[in-house]
Amino acid sequence: MDNTSGFEVSRRGVLATGVACGAMVSVPAAAGQVQPAPGAAPPTMPVTLKVNGTAGTLDLDTRTTLLDALREHWKLTGTKKGCDHGQCGACTVIVEGRRINSCLSLAVMHDGDEITTIEGLGKPGDLHPMQAAFVKHDGYQCGYCTPGQICSAVSVLKEIRDGVPSHASADITAAPQPTAAEIRERMSGNICRCGAYSNIVEAMQEVSGQKVSGASA
């Protein structure tokens, strides 16, 4: 029995399917459906941000994240791009008094908001108490996560002072002088790949007013 005819039919079927798919792709858009012109510039809109006390307006692609707006447009590169998926905390900044992962938030969502980055907390010779404590207790090693760690640490102590509850189990409660367990739980979204966690805890406890046994070795 000759099987070549069956093969030919199958091959022709595959070719016919491919031609049909190509025709579907080439069908013009339905009437009234707007299609962007090839090579057209992406949509933009003006966004006003108050960053570290200075207000400015940028015309931004509506897809621009707050992280990229700060780094690429404001040139504030202290805020780091780590995972770019909201999992490491390196991009943490303070927006309207609350810490957020700037890689997960679009800049257009923060029109008119007040934003503080690591550059706005303190400067060489005039460090924020948390920055000074990180230096004293060696709360960093490679330093890449440090800006996000410090912004988050400042916000954590404010959360505790304001009585904002943590997501931990009932045996961990907010206190004016938080325990190491409380700090670790609240800081769990900030990853330090060098493993300086105990030093970070000491720095935060000192800033909260607790006595800590000197700088870490």
What confidence score (pLDDT) does residue 6 get? 47
Backbone dihedral angles phi then psi of residue 98, each to the nearest 5 degrees: -120, 145
Q: Do residues 98 and 130 both lie within one domain?
A: no
What confidence score (pLDDT) does residue 24 get? 45
Residue 207 has pLDDT above 60, yes or no: yes
Residue 177 has pLDDT above 60, yes or no: yes
Residue type (1 letter), 141: Q
Please count the other Cβ atoms lying within 10 Å of the Cβ belonging to residue 74.
19
Q: Do residues 115 and 180 both lie within one domain?
A: no
Question: Does residue 216 belong to any structural domain of this protein?
Answer: no
The residue from 121, 156, 184 where one domain ends is 121
Residue 59 has pLDDT above 80, yes or no: yes
The structure tokens listed for 194 are 């060098």
The residue from 121, 150, 185 where one domain ends is 121
Residue 164 has pLDDT above 90, yes or no: no
Helix 197-207 × helix 129-136 angle, to 10°: 140
Structure confidence by residue, pLDDT tens digits, 102-149: 999 999 999 999 999 999 999 999 999 999 999 999 999 999 999 999
Q: Do residues 129 and 202 both lie within one domain?
A: yes
Question: Does residue 19 belong to any structural domain of this protein?
Answer: no
Q: What is the CATH number of the domain that holds 99?
A: 3.10.20.30
Question: Does residue 2 belong to any structural domain of this protein?
Answer: no
Q: Do residues 114 and 133 both lie within one domain?
A: no
Question: Does residue 186 belong to any structural domain of this protein?
Answer: yes
- Report the number of distinct structural domains present in the chain: 2
Residue 73 has pLDDT above 50, yes or no: yes
Q: What is the CATH number of the domain that holds 204?
A: 1.10.150.120
Confidence of residue 36 (pLDDT cuts 50, 70, 90): low
Q: What is the mean pLDDT of the chain?
A: 83
* Domain range enclosing 78: 42-121
Q: Is 69 strand, coil or helix?
A: helix
